[in-house]
Structure 1
């Protein structure tokens, strides 16, 4: 009965694969991150706005957001080699200033 609600709305229900028991936990972590870092802090106006914000967050999440399991690197960007010299840091705002990316200026 629960799945019928989604099916009538045109949403395909995907069951957790028996070969991947952690699949549900990984998705819950991802959805939780989106809620805490994005949706709880911004007012979504319509579906187009939601899609735009989620696309920008996806880029931030995969290319910049550091992960403890990767020694503070992101999945699509390797951690740069440490530098002993004075480093200038630049801040770039994402999602209208809600999220911030910090990069080293060469």
Structure 2
């Protein structure tokens, strides 16, 4: 989990909180705000913990940095579910490399190409991108499968041609391909 910032065309800065599974690479958008504080972060943690509690496999570790916004109440939310909090060394973002790589990906594939207007626009844009990231984008660590576990199409000799449909998202910035029904 980590924060990153996004500046709007009106020069307003928003802070985005997200969680990412280390093994699955699945991303959960917790929220964005112009003024993050300990209370807001704790409330977002409750929402994410509730969402993650419905999964079959419990969360064993939560890697986070030493940001003051992560209060003891934030830690208690996850510790109550049996999650161990692991703090990264001070000023070593590489210790949370998977989260840092997601930030680089979301910037280079989405945010660097769009002008964000406000918090609602940012939330909608990130929701669409994360839906694409979790459902369609291949990951090398997952044998080129997306985090949601869609299987790759198998090919063999004599395979009949199939019809494929393309769905453009975020104005054509993202393209998703599926078999036609």
- Give the TM-score normalised by structure 2: 0.47
Residue 81 of structure 1: how far off its partner (Å):
4.4
- Where do 4+ consecutive residues of structure 1 move more than 3 Å? 11-14
Residue ranges of structure 2 left out of the alignment (5+ in a row)? 1-14, 16-34, 42-63, 67-85
Tell me the CA shift for residue 67 of structure 1: 1.2
Residue 10 of structure 1 corresponds to 36
Aligned to 1:40: 112
Task: Provide the C-alpha distance between the structure 2 equivalents of 1:18 and 1:47, rounded to a whole number of angstroms.
Answer: 29
1:77 alignment counterpart: 149
1:58-80 Cα deviation digits (max 9, x unpaired): 11000111112222211103214
- Unmatched segments (≥5 aa) in structure 1: 1-5
How many residue pairs get aligned? The number is 98
Q: Whole-Å Cα distance in 1 between the matches of residues 168 and 95 of structure 2?
A: 32
Work out whether 1:88 is the aligned partner of 2:133.
no
Normalized per residue, the structure richer in helix is 1
The answer to which of 73-82 and 62-71 deviates more is 73-82
Bigger mean CA offset, 9-18 vs 82-91:
9-18
Give the deviation of 1:85 after TM superposition.
1.4
For CA contacts below 8 A with separation 6 or more, give which structure has more relative contact order.
Answer: 2
How high is the TM-score relative to the length of structure 1?
0.77
Q: Deviations over 1:11-61 (max 9, x none)?
A: 458426248x97510111010000000010011111110000001111100
1:28 aligns with 2:54: no
Flag the structure with higher strand content. 2
Is the 1:72–1:79 contact (alpha carbons within 8 Å) kept by the matching residues of 2?
no
C-alpha displacement of 1:89: 1.4
